Amino acid sequence: MKNRQDEIRTMSLDSILATKHHELRFAAEAAVEALKDEPGKLISREADYEVAWYEENGFRVVVYPHRTSAGNYHLRIRMQGKRKGSDRARYIMTKLYRCTPHDINFQWKGMGINQILKWEREFGFA
């Protein structure tokens, strides 16, 4: 029998959208909505610690489940690829951060609020 951590570790975007884990489903639904008009491709993944990829020219956003020290789960994002530091990649990261309420949002390792505020102003979200 799988425990909750094993179950969530192996979930794909499609399975999260159909799940009872409301905090993960809400964030996944928001990501699908936020990225629907973008030129890249959102791909559901069934790999350990990968929920989905958003691929665009030169970079990939990896969406993955993260367990906090309190035992709660949320979705995080990380960038991969040659153009992961490009304005377009930062725009997608900012858009994903902004697409959900602040109690359920996308985060990434090393994320700082000053960085987010700067990108929001730069891309016209603020």
pLDDT higher than threshold 80 for residue 105: no
pLDDT higher than threshold 90 for residue 56: yes
Structural domain boundaries, residue 77: 4-122
Top pLDDT among 58 and 101 is at 58
pLDDT higher than threshold 90 for residue 67: no
CB 93 within 8 A of CB 79: yes
* Segment holding 84, helix H or strand E: none
CA atoms 35, 81, 45, 120: torsion sign: negative
Tokens of 10: 């192996």
Number of domains in the chain: 1
What is the longest distance spanned by two Cα atoms in the chain? 48
Is beta strand 41-47 parallel, antiparallel or unpaired with respect to 59-67? unpaired
pLDDT higher than threshold 90 for residue 59: yes
Q: What is the mean pLDDT of residues 15-36?
A: 82
Tell me what the pLDDT averaged over the chain comes to: 82
pLDDT higher than threshold 60 for residue 96: yes
pLDDT higher than threshold 70 for residue 102: no
82 CB-contact burial (10 Å; exposed 0-12 / middle 13-18 / buried 19+): exposed
Report the predicted TM-score, pTM, of the whole model to 2 decimal places: 0.79
pLDDT higher than threshold 70 for residue 4: no
Q: What is the reported pLDDT for 41?
A: 93
Q: What is the mean pLDDT of residues 10-28?
A: 77
pLDDT higher than threshold 70 for residue 40: yes
- CA dist 5 and 90 (Å) reads 30
Q: What is the reported pLDDT for 112?
A: 82
